[in-house]
Structure 1
């Protein structure tokens, strides 16, 4: 069953849709959390936003079951990220009339990457290569993705098109304010190198003129001795003083980084829903933490 995401204040809560809500409101199925947040902001309580990915899964590499695919195919809008995100969407027949690729037309802004192979927990190994997929970490691109989604939703939901248009303007303003804030924070980090535990920050680095060198650590796991050695070598090479973690690390990992002279910042890329807050509040907290470095 698809999970439904509802915006209530600053919190994004997951709950199951009632049969009535499924009948009364158009359904949007996004492939990641940013698109879920954008769709919920655009449609408000007039739409059901159903995030299909299991809570423990990485939406970039999640594979739906046959029954889950059937539910997704019935949605009024299927929101894709593009840029190679959610490869399952290239192997499944999705209704063209209901499917929007929110970075279509933005291909010239894609970032090519080198391959880094690793796994998440007990999952299969996978590679981050070819095209970086976390496009929304450039907040100006996120705003353009919002525009693409809004236009498509208006076409599919003509009865609430005016509401979507109003919400689109407010959401774009919020994202561009976040972009301006990121530009300001990044100016204070000029000529410094930031180390990151995972290679997902390419769009953020390019958009805001930052130098970010990435490792291939697993989120939430205690790094091995070899990984600590690799970090120490990269720190010595770059003179970095800040380490960005994809997810909150264990206390002993934080202490080890501090002993190495590294200040830690937790920067969830938000491909999946945050435990607390929403897209804007989490990203604002990240910028606060980077500004304090």
Structure 2
């Protein structure tokens, strides 16, 4: 995984405005929709979390193609020339800048006009190998802002700098509240690209936001009273989720699932596990579980799956985003000793 610097700078925060302006150029007619596949709006999504939004919000009015096929580790995606060519022909491209370098490069090369960068639709924080509830109060301070206000606010906050050396945690979809903010921005973009069906896009967006709100409530109540707040995971993908629900994520390898932890980090995790009464070391489905299993064996801990939802496969514990997130909640409740 090569997580690039992801926090919107002033220029990048304006990218969503430029993207939506270009989309709004279509608002005078339904040419975009008419020119799509079978009369549908042709949407290209970079990977599963973006695909899910496009399908849920677009419904029967969109034809969605996904650059990252099931089972492919999205961070390591390499695009074929044909895929790059198709980007330029899409009505709308939905992606998350910074998580897939190949996609970022292809979009720049293809000169795609109608792009929606999910990173500009909510705030991002930098999360390292350990991330948790320390930033929870600051995180809560901006709840209720619109997606546009989020994007504007992010340009002036400490820690929200694309240019920072550590970069930021791109896994915004694992926080249902942030994901709902992104959903609202995507709904607006589709409505402007295909105004004939704007009412349906708004209705579908509202329905999805409600489902995400219910999911947020389930996490908040399900994780409120636990024996411990600390969990250990191979891939530090859950910093936003941990911050949202007052937990402490301790990542073995940081935000890069392929990096090897140092002996000092392993010793530190062993000490944390003992001190914080950690019961479980989590691994994921699309990356190696070797280090997690070794650490668990050395410390006498259980192992379980915490899915970062970068793709749905036959081994996923659920058929879609909501189902897998509820499976993640159940796994966290068990590991943390929820009461």
TM-score (norm 1): 0.75
Residues 50-75 of structure 1: CA distance to partner in whole angstroms, max 9, x if unpaired?
Answer: 11124443223323122211112211
Distance 1:183 1:281 in 2: 17
Residue 320 of structure 2 is matched in structure 1 by: 278
Q: Which moved more, 1:263-272 or 1:194-203?
A: 263-272
Residues 124-168 of structure 1: CA distance to partner in whole angstroms, max 9, x if unpaired?
Answer: xxxx94111101111100001101111001111122222111111
Distance 1:94 1:179 in 2: 37
Give the counterpart of 2:252 among 200, 203, 215: 215
Residue 205 of structure 1 is matched in structure 2 by: 242
Distance 1:182 1:52 in 2: 30
Q: Which moved more, 1:50-59 or 1:136-145?
A: 50-59
Residues 234 and 289 of structure 2 are in contact (CA less than 8 Å); yes or no, is this contact kept in structure 1? no
Distance 1:81 1:194 in 2: 26
Q: CA RMSD in A?
A: 3.4
Residue 211 of structure 2 is matched in structure 1 by: 174
Residues 64-107 of structure 1: CA distance to partner in whole angstroms, max 9, x if unpaired?
Answer: 1222111122111100223x22223443334453101123153x
Q: How does 1:19-98 map to 2 (within 5 A)?
A: 22-82=37-97, 84-91=98-105, 92-95=108-111, 97-98=113-114
Residue 184 of structure 2 is matched in structure 1 by: 147
Residues 158-197 of structure 1: CA distance to partner in whole angstroms, max 9, x if unpaired?
Answer: 2222211111111000011111111112212375311111
Matched, 1:158 2:172: no
SS at match of 2:120: coil
Residues 121 and 181 of structure 2 are in contact (CA less than 8 Å); yes or no, is this contact kept in structure 1? no
1:288/1:258 CA distance change after superposition, 3 Å: farther
1:213/1:31 CA distance change after superposition, 3 Å: same
Give the counterpart of 1:196 among 213, 227, 233: 233
Residues 1-32 of structure 1: CA distance to partner in whole angstroms, max 9, x if unpaired?
Answer: xxxxxxxxxxxxxxxxxxxx933322111112
Distance 1:113 1:219 in 2: 14
1:287/1:258 CA distance change after superposition, 3 Å: farther
Matched, 1:103 2:141: no
Distance 1:259 1:155 in 2: 55
Distance 2:301 2:129 in 1: 26
Residues 266 and 295 of structure 2 are in contact (CA less than 8 Å); yes or no, is this contact kept in structure 1? no
Q: What's the CA shift for 1:39?
A: 0.8
Q: How does 1:111-122 map to 2 (within 5 A)?
A: 111-114=125-128
1:105/1:140 CA distance change after superposition, 3 Å: same
Distance 1:40 1:105 in 2: 18
More helix by share: 2
Q: Which one has more relative contact order, counting CA pairs under 8 Å at least 6 apart? A: 2
Q: Aligned residues, how many?
A: 258
